[in-house]
Amino acid sequence: MTRELVLVGGGHSHVQVLKNFGMKPVPGMRLTLVARDVETPYSGMLPGFIAGHYDHDACHIDVMKLAGFAGARLIHAEAVGIDRTARTVHLRGRPPIRYDLLSLDIGSTPRAHDVPGAAEHATPVKPVDRLAGRWAALVERVSAADGPLDLVVVGGGAAGVELALSIDHRFRTTRFRPRVVLVTRGQMLSGHTDRVRAAFRRVVRERGVAVHEDAEVVKVEPEALLCTGGRRIRFDEALWAVQAGAAPWLRETGLRLDDKGFVAVDATLRSVNDPRIFAVGDVAAVLPYPREKAGVFAVRQGPPLTANLRRALAGEALRPFEPQTKFLKLITTGDKHAVASRGRLSAEGRWVWRLKDLIDRRFMDKFQNVLTMPPGGAAAAMDMRCAGCGAKVPSRLLRRVLERLAPEGLDAGDDAAVLSPPDDGGLMVQTVDFFRAFTSDPYLFGRIAANHALGDIHAMGAEPRTALAIACVPPAGAEIVEDDLYQMLRGGLDVLEQAGARLVGGHSAEGPEHALGFTITGSVAPGRILRKGGLKPGDRLILTKPLGTGVLLAAAMRGEAKARWIVAALASMEQSSGQAARCLGDHGATACTDVTGFGLIGHLAEMAQASDVDVRIDPDTVPALDGASEMLETGFRSTLHSGNAEAGGLAGEAPELLYDPQTAGGLLAGVPEAAADACIDALMAAGYVRATVIGIVEPMTGIAPAIRLGR
């Protein structure tokens, strides 16, 4: 790999780029997708989603699965800037990533700040990739209301009208049907033909949707809109569907923008003042062919963008793209009825909705039904590389990475770290963990790898002090290797520093894939140390995190896990167990371990054997990550699962979840019965919201410790 193409945003054009590059990869190029959300909504189906005709999955593209098909890295983060000199994209809350070629498809953002109070008191419809969560909260609020609510939609364009009618349709059968109001500063659907406007005036009148035209909102109060002329419109919920603007951070990039702040591009979709940057969709202003902000143009820009990115990578001349001047507009009325128009022609009826539904589903089918890996399988075999010490990362490159990391304690450059024993007479504890990358995001992988290694230290009740790292990166161009190594170690170092540990040394090497591990040294006062042995009859068994990372990662490798499940699993892996260990210690924990590769049953068996006790767990109380049980029922298993099941030693058949191997799993501890409830309360207050009592410790009744299922 010598070049990097970075796509920022998972919009309608970029999903087509991913699909195309997955079908025909470019040799020597690494593709990266930076996406704020891992499920991209298709704007054409969102009114149907609001109205209840489509479920969440029907109208969202799983870009995590699509990136896997394309062989692309997925960086789940929000872009907040571009350094064009350094060729890096700045990301919120994490290090920047580099690019050789960059494409922007980030849509638009609400212009709520143009009106005082709108940002504080109105709910923005855009960005549309956040609409599903906001809509779920609104549905819950309407369902729980003890009377009809006033729901106001601000914006009289096609998006606002569709939204108002879809909301009205969705709640027509609720106990207290909301009063839906549409507010627009001009005429409703002012950019459409007289026949289209007349059709929708009839529909809103028949539905009882109130329309306030020529009512420009000048201020938003907590429960009211103040409009020109002194008009005051009360609301319980105001949805802001006015024309959105460009991301404010674009102004700091030095890119040429149009007068509204959108990226100015030429007919080839390339920035007019930076040949390394392309822009499409709502964020782009195509100077030779100005058009309204509509999803149809983003869809149509996908193929020419893909072709020109390929040409740019090959050093070939780009080709201009001329969008159509007229296009078919399909506006729904909420109840599987729609109005079509093209130029001066128009029609309406249920058949129009069926036509729109067919077009939308065909588009979505291209991206929802893809293989996990692109045709042809994994990347071609790399050139023969040296092994042994010849496989080290070059010293100059490693030195640059360490200079960028600047970890305290590494300035001496000796062959080994020099440590002092604890001054307070405490004990030193040491552990090591190392594994291959399971995510294409090197920074996130570094964070989880460090958190996983720290788990053993936390389980002993110790505080981490120092760490040694061992990192493997695949051979590639020097800039790519440097950035990968930096991202991994930066992620690990951020976690280590937060835990109180210093990175004092390590080793790096080339390998066939990314891998990372840490040796952690910690210290603990003799009276605070926790071991696997020590469980006492009557102790309650507490688990601090849900299970399921193994099966979810296995399903994700085959493209079957939903992106939102994987995001939640990764967030669980990122959660440190440090505070959990302190809570357990403060409540008199008698024994503790972290649940990792051997699964809950394997680690519980170790505790029972070390303590000479029987344990009883209630499978119904064991928390599971979203999607884990579903994937187990479908037949997915981690490769370590069967070995865990064979070694389980359970008295009775156990649910498969109990054998699932975990990465950076939670702590499993015994806590005296009298302190168990208070311990759970403390854990939940500390952010371990799924912490649960899953069982009880009992006296050993046989010749060997046993694990039983049941209450």
* Model confidence pLDDT, tens digit, residues 143-170: 888 889 999 999 899 989 999 999 999 9
pLDDT digits (tens, 9 = 90+) for 29-43: 999 999 998 988 888
At which residue do the structure tokens 């009859």 appear?
A: 537
pLDDT digits (tens, 9 = 90+) for 394-438: 556 656 776 777 766 555 444 444 456 666 678 888 888 898 899
- In the chain, the N- to C-terminal Cα span, in Å, equals 55
pLDDT digits (tens, 9 = 90+) for 515-542: 999 999 998 888 888 989 999 999 999 9
Q: What is the mean pLDDT of residues 132-141?
A: 85
In what order do the strands lie in the sheet containing 667-671?
591-594, 667-671, 540-543, 692-699, 613-617, 707-709, 650-651
pLDDT at 432: 87
The angle at the Cα of 8, spanning 6 to 12, to the nearest 5 degrees, equals 115
Q: What is the mean pLDDT of residues 441-469?
A: 94
Q: Is the dihedral of CA 124, 125, 127, 129 positive or negative?
A: positive
pLDDT at 205: 94
- Radius of gyration of the chain from its Cα atoms, rounded to whole angstroms: 29
pLDDT at 327: 78
- Of 115, 144, 372, nearest to 225 by C-alpha is 115
Q: Which ranges constitute the DSSP H helices of 282-413?
A: 295-314, 350-368, 395-405
Share of residues in the chain with pLDDT > 70 (%): 92
Tell whether the model's pLDDT for residue 648 goes beyond 70.
Answer: no
Tell whether the model's pLDDT for residue 131 goes beyond 80.
Answer: no
Q: What is the mean pLDDT of residues 82-95?
A: 96
Mean of all residue pLDDT scores within the chain: 88
Least confident of 64-78, 104-118, 244-258, 464-478: 104-118
- Sequence-ordered list of residues with C-beta below 8 angstroms from that of 395, at least 6 positions apart, any chain: none
pLDDT at 344: 86
pLDDT band at 387 (very low <50, low <70, confident <90, very high): very low
Q: Which residues pair with 617 in a beta bridge?
A: 695, 709
Euclidean distance between CA atoms 631 and 57, whole angstroms: 16
- Sequence-ordered list of residues with C-beta below 8 angstroms from that of 520, at least 6 positions apart, any chain: 430, 431, 432, 453, 454, 456, 457, 464, 466, 467, 501
Q: What is the mean pLDDT of residues 610-635?
A: 94
Tell whether the model's pLDDT for residue 324 goes beyond 90.
Answer: no
Q: What is the mean pLDDT of residues 641-669?
A: 84
pLDDT at 582: 94
Tell whether the model's pLDDT for residue 380 goes beyond 70.
Answer: no
Tell whether the model's pLDDT for residue 478 goes beyond 70.
Answer: yes
Catalytic residues: 389
Task: Write the DSSP assignment of 67-123 as a string of letters.
Answer: HHHHT-EEEES-EEEEETTTTEEEETTEEEEE-SEEEE----B--GGGSTTHHHHSE
pLDDT at 184: 93
Share of residues in the chain with pLDDT > 90 (%): 64
Cis peptide leading into 375, omega within 30 of 0? no
Q: Using CA atoms in the order 192, 193, 198, 203, what is the torsion angle rounded to 10 degrees?
A: -40
pLDDT digits (tens, 9 = 90+) for 218-243: 999 999 999 988 899 999 999 988 87
Q: What is the mean pLDDT of residues 691-698?
A: 96
What share of residues in the chain are helix, strand, coil (percent, to 5)?
Answer: 40, 25, 40
Helix (H) or strand (E) segment spanning residue 485: helix 478-499
Tell me, what amino acid is at 602? G
Q: pTM of the predicted model, to two decimals?
A: 0.86
Euclidean distance between CA atoms 594 and 612, whole angstroms: 19
Q: What is the mean pLDDT of residues 3-23?
A: 94
pLDDT digits (tens, 9 = 90+) for 550-604: 999 999 988 889 999 999 999 999 999 999 999 999 999 999 999 998 899 989 9
Q: Which residues pair with 649 in a beta bridge?
A: none
Tell whether the model's pLDDT for residue 645 goes beyond 90.
Answer: no
Q: Which residues pair with 330 in a beta bridge?
A: 340
Tell whether the model's pLDDT for residue 651 goes beyond 60.
Answer: no
Q: Which ranges constitute the DSSP H helices of 509-562?
A: 549-557
